[in-house]
Chain A
């Protein structure tokens, strides 16, 4: 097994009386794509926020590329990035300005070339000089993806990376991510409610519920293990189960 790019051990997050994460442990091998699945309130967003250093865990250990995220997340930040349709980029800046600012924050050389390259790859060239706030939801999703790829991250955390995209564009984005991963050996942690996307992209699937890891495996293994026809049905079975055994 390759080295773990992401390692999460006994992670707990408590908000007052609410337990958002309950002793979560998993690893993501370097160069692989792992999907984090679960219904609303399962703890996916909390997990991602902790991995990004935006949220402090109550207890547990998290490391990314060998850097302890809880004690010093700044050491890992130059090598990771994320995209989420729920976190905006400044609306009153153009797409080009937004990307230029983030290129600066990541200390990129030849930032202009990189912006042009990404705009071309993600079909954003004609929107580069439009204000981010004037874009459609799908266009914003692509801009967020461009921002996430600016620094050529070794670890990419993607929260619903193809939300609001039409099937054709979504397919092209997935293909681009796959090409990027093959070319760079990057590690991807993917949170998505799009099961065909997960089946296509993920080497491994983590099923969460109530802040706990309920099951894990390849998509095919999980479908077979739970005796279902597809990953959607596995997801529903786990989401609607009352606890230990969803099979």
Chain B
């Protein structure tokens, strides 16, 4: 078979999907072949739900705040895990390429950075589903609380937090692309820095006045306020959700621009071949 004919066939298949799928499979093979990774993914959400379930039980009889709505703490911890796992899902895919020094091979193939990003997003969703399933099960079995009782608003909350996890990981991976593996700890630190201003377990109103504008600038704070509105007042606040998605859209555009700039800078510096500390 001549090269012209072979490359003609390749060109006809030149849509993005085969490349995105190939990268999704790359991360799936990795996950499937490593039981410690799988255990780690299931372990933390389940442990957190176990812990916050016990705390909730205690506070239900001792705190009027928790007594207002069952699941205000367990629901919050589960939604926080969605945010954290979606951020980690992308960041870990990215780190795998850095650790294995594979960027050189990847970007000599026809893979476009945005296709890689799409593959990481899909892999991150898979990780969130696998990681959260046992935590949701434990919450139902042990505490008789199902996060699904939130109804359709749950879909909105999960969507907003998932998108937030994506743009945060894009910002972090851009920093690593720019500064190398020396900035690796940002992957684990980044989310925890945002947790206090995300109003996960307490309302924004309870925060110091000077910190409240920072919290309202976080899509996560809008979501957790929205969750409490559903649990306490049994209504969905569209304004909070729209603000969360609007902020997500704005930050996502900024994060994509930052990632493209970091990638461009990496090409200029030769970091795609020699990435490391």
Interface residues of A (CB under 8 A from B): 15, 45-46, 49, 52-56, 74, 77-82, 84, 86-94, 97, 100-109, 131, 147, 151-152, 154, 184-186
Q: Is the interface of B mostly helix, strand, loop or mixed?
A: helix
Q: In whole angstroms, what is the CA distance A88 to B275 when docked?
A: 12
> By the criterion CB–CB under 8 Å, are A46 and B270 in contact?
yes
A185/B3 in contact, CB under 8 A = yes
Given contacts A56-B268, A105-B23, contact A154 B29 (CB under 8 A): no
Q: Given contacts A78-B14, A92-B33, are A54 and B22 in contact (CB under 8 A)? A: no
Please report the C-alpha to C-alpha distance between residue A150 and residue B272 in the assembled complex, in whole angstroms: 22
Q: List, in ascending order, chain A residues with CB within 8 A of B6's CB.
A: 152
With A87-B104, A100-B25 as contacts: A93 and B33 at CB distance below 8 Å: yes
Known: A93-B33, A101-B25. A54 touches B19 (CB 8 A): no
* Given A54-B107, A80-B108, A88-B101; 11 other pairs, CB 8 A cutoff: A52-B108, A53-B107, A78-B110, A79-B7, A93-B29, A97-B25, A97-B29, A107-B19, A154-B3, A154-B7, A185-B3
Residues of B participating in the A interface, judged by any CB pair closer than 8 Å: 2-3, 6-7, 9-11, 13-14, 18-19, 21-23, 25-26, 29-30, 33-34, 96-97, 100-102, 104-112, 264, 267-270, 272-273
B109 touches A89 (CB 8 A): no
List, in ascending order, chain B residues with CB within 8 A of A93's CB: 26, 29-30, 33
B272: chain A residues at CB < 8 Å are: 54-55
**Could you show 22 A-B contacts with beta carbons less than 8 Å apart?**
A54-B108, A55-B268, A56-B268, A74-B112, A87-B104, A89-B102, A90-B96, A91-B100, A92-B33, A93-B29, A93-B30, A101-B26, A102-B22, A103-B22, A104-B18, A105-B19, A105-B22, A105-B23, A151-B10, A152-B3, A152-B7, A186-B3
